[in-house]
Structure 1
Amino acid sequence: MILLVLIASVLIAGVTIYQYREQSKDYHKVRLERKEGQIKQSIAYTLQETTYPVTTENLALIFKDEIYRIADVQNVNFNIYDLKGNLIKSSKPRFRNDSISLHLDSKIIEMLSNAVNKRYILEDTAAGDKYHASFTYINDDKFKPIGILNLPYYEDNTLNDMELREFLMRLSVVYLFMLLIAVVLAYFISKYITRSLQTISDKITQTDLTKRNEKILIENPGHEIGKLIDSYNEMIDELEVSAAKLARSEREQAWREMAKQVAHEIKNPLTPMRLSVQSFERKFNPEDPDVQTKVKEFSRTLIQQIDTMSSIASAFSNFAEMPAQQNENLNVVKIVKLALDIFNEKYIHFMADEEEIIAKLDRTQLIRVITNLVKNAIQAVPEVQSPRILVSVVSQGDKVKISVADNGIGIQDGFKDKVFEPKFTTKTSGMGLGLGMVKNIVETYNGSINFTSQPGKGTVFTVMFPKTENN
């Protein structure tokens, strides 16, 4: 709308200027013809009244004083030339003799003689204004040419230009007012049109695979907007079906992976148990004097493998099913110190910027987080000459930050994306469930866990807990 108003204003201004110029051109053309006709009538009247013979040679005598009277009556100056282009008489009181005024160019005489209506108009510019000069024959009573009438004419467009400026000024005011109206209308119309689009945009932005998405409901939408809303609502339906299938598939895949891991971990102790039983069955001799010692050794081997299987079952149980949270207002500094008391390593250090940082957490789960992170740090520094582990607790606004830093072997770049996967481990023993369980606990509290690591220099794990419960 704004563009149309601007284009219309430019076009109308252009057409107006063109029209004024054409009108001015027609006006000056008609005025020149009228003045020329009036002077010719006065000249014809003078020729009828004169007592001199009407010849070219007598034109100077005939119009000796009469030329000034005619010029004064018609309010215009003119010149009279003979048929060869020589100046005979001019109405200018103080005529400035120059080559052009004293003698006409041969081209002008030729163009005049060849003209059908025996009239020739010369167009030029003088002092920045348009200059016209008309040339016609002066005839005697028998219509025989006896001289040439030259009428100089300067276009005076002062009045026309002033009217044009005033008109354009008024037109500009009108179109400025129309432009303001167009801006206001365009704003409200665009707001009305884009209101539905904004609703759709907000809904699309809020679309999340992890939750149920609402459909868009708009009363009396336009045809195109309605089709877009229908497509979005159909997509939401399909998305919910796909999300359900994906969730079920992921759960099944996770349980398949977990089952493979459980089977693998259980097979490890079953193999030595089977070998031990087969060996005992093959070598057992009731009459052997050391039979009691061998039975005890066999039992001890079986019990060790059974304990290993029990540990495996407990680890998977702890990972798969967290106990119910018993949230309470805890002094995080005190609980972290308590969790570190079970470790005897001298290179473990603790630091806190405050004596008391209160947060609403489960005591047991917080201890499990600290214990697992510190265990991982201890396992990363056995080959370091001067091992060092620093555990720190810092208050940051409405969150508490717990960091566990070590100067151990670090984590290779290729393993960083897999650190929190349940079955991932780089150690020769263990099931790789510790960090996965820690991440599960932290995310239960809407917290975050991340790490930075440089191979050969060490690793820093950072846990952020909200101080207040946020379900």
Structure 2
Amino acid sequence: MKLNKLSLRVRIFFAMILLVLIASILIAGVTIYQYNEEARDYHKGRLERKEQAIISDIDYVIKETTYLVETEKVPLIFKDEIYRIAEIHSLRINLYDLDGTLLITSKASFTNDSISQCIDTDVLNEISNTAEHRFVEKIQKNGETFQSSYRYILDSKSKPLAILNLPYLENDDFLNKELDEFLERLAYAYLFMMLIAIILALLLSKYITRTLKTIADKINETRLEKRNKKIDIASSSEEISTLINSYNSMIDELEESAVKLATSEREQAWREMAKQVAHEIKNPLTPMRLSVQSFQRKFNPDDENIHQKVDEYSQTLIQQIDTMSSIASAFSNFAKMPAQKNETLNVTNIVKLGLDIFSEDYIIFSSEDEDIVANFDRTQLIRVVTNLVKNGIQAIPEDKENPRIEVKVASENDMVKITVEDNGVGITEENKPLIFEPKFTTKTSGMGLGLAMVKNIVETYKGNITFTSQQGAGTTFSVTFPKL
């Protein structure tokens, strides 16, 4: 179910409920985060306090010992004292020499796997490189979190004697119990708030939308062809009053413009029809004129192929006249375009025929296959080609050296591709999005109303027309449509 299809009342209801849910989730998330932060601070501080207390006891033992205070004597110095200190502070104590080798531990019995016999080199580097000569390593093991602190023990001359290691288990049972109890109480509170929010959302959404529903009903009943009633609501908010006044003003204006609209719609329809028909009639006139001019220039009574050429020129003129006739018939039946037909034709031959009306010797035609067959209206295909070529001619300046227009027909899988490439002035970046607009034209690029018609024809046959252009270098139009 899409949100934009829901009524305003339902949207208001869901918005209020969602607001309460989001608030609940955010507060619960902040609470959990705060508890976790407090737990981390608690364990960090507790480890530091125990460490300071143990260091004090160790310093006292070193001060009172009768043994020579040196690293090798540490196991003798703390032979009995390490157990006492560990028991007082409820924390296991490990003592290592300065190279990281275990000297003594408070654990009564241990295996090689339970206590590390050597400190990692990375840990030793951290201890020696920090100002406090202290390093805390956090370890996850069997689902439990351990903090293992390392710190130098100093002799009476403040020289490092050994490394103290205190493995500390982070026991969060008590904090977790408090957190669970708080979240449980919070859940009950938000459950109560949710019930209150549902009731308020229902009442508020009903109150807000009641007046809007009245206005909506009136608007739905509004008709152009009848006399509409104004909205009369005794008490409403400022926003609703503004909406009602706007609607009532619209009713007054609607009655005044109803007659004008009926008249203007008919006039507009005829104007649009006249524009389209005038343009469609102009399209075949241009190739007819070019064909006659070409015939005048190339006519030679002594040419042995004169009869064949006359037949070709006549056939071209007849085709364009037929097009004009179909346009006239369509206009009489209030149609926008001549009826399009599906004919099985050889695209290569039809494109050649469409190019015969042009006398420019720089128009080059090529085809990768002499027989490329497709379903298309013969007249419409000629119209597509002649419009694109004519635009290419208009895009080439008169003083252009080596003007060129290349028309190619190719077959790509199940599609026919016709490309018309020129080396004219190209299309500017700001004009590219407007090329296929029905009323767009620019003398510089030579793109007129014909391109919109070409696009319409190609898309009617499930085809596509695209172009690439570089200003100052030229433009290439590509037309693709399915074969049989």
Give the structure-1-normalised TM-score.
Answer: 0.49
Give the structure-2-normalised TM-score.
Answer: 0.48
Task: Answer with 1 or 2: which has the greater Rg.
Answer: 1
